[in-house]
């Protein structure tokens, strides 16, 4: 895969994360660095975690977690490795101010606070046109 950022092609995104439809909650990789990743999602009406025209809390949190997965997957891709399977190890202090609606284009920025032996501690903030929708901390774990 020849990659230039941003990545907006769903097939390229699918190569970077272990999730598959209908649970894919990222559709854009805006930027990548060793300690930060920025990912996006356009909320579609057929999203499995949308109801009554709104992406539900679980969908927003899953989008935040998949932003972290995209960081890990792109890092592995850059090293010539396959994206690993992982899971949310813990969620701490997630605050949701507002839920995005169908057709909204949300952006999550994850700052890597610590990464050790497959465990990544991050602060994640999700915005819509500069408005903070949600923020918090989570740990993700690469499955062994």
Look up residue 1 and give its DSSP letter. -
Which helix (H) or strand (E) segment holds residue 60: the answer is: helix 57-78
3-state secondary structure of 41: strand
The answer as to whether 78 is a domain residue is: yes
Convert the pLDDT of each residue in 32-83 to its tens digit.
999 999 999 999 999 999 999 999 999 999 999 999 999 999 999 999 998 8
Convert the pLDDT of each residue in 113-125 to its tens digit.
999 998 999 999 9
> In 10 A of CB 137, how many CB atoms?
15
The answer as to whether 111 is a domain residue is: yes
CB 14 within 8 A of CB 7: no
CATH number, position 62: 3.10.129.10
Q: Is the pLDDT of residue 86 over 90?
A: no
Number of domains in the chain: 1
> Can you give the pTM of this predicted structure?
0.94
Q: Is the pLDDT of residue 2 over 60?
A: no
Convert the pLDDT of each residue in 16-30 to its tens digit.
998 999 999 999 999
């Amino acid at each position: 895969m020849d990659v230039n950022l941003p990545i907006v092609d769903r097939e390229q995104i699918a190569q970077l994360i272990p999730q598959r439809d209908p649970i894919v909650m990222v559709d854009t990789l805006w930027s990548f660095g060793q300690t930060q990743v920025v990912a996006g999602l356009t909320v579609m009406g057929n999203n499995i975690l949308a109801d009554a025209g709104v992406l539900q809390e679980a969908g927003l949190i899953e989008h935040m977690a998949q932003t972290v997965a995209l960081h890990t997957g792109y890092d592995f891709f850059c090293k010539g490795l396959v994206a690993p399977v992982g899971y949310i190890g813990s969620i701490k202090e997630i605050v949701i101010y507002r839920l995005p609606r169908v057709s909204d284009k949300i952006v999550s920025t994850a700052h890597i606070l610590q990464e050790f032996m497959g465990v990544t501690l991050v602060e994640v903030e999700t915005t819509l046109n500069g408005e903070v929708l949600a923020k918090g901390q989570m740990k993700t774990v690469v499955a062994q």
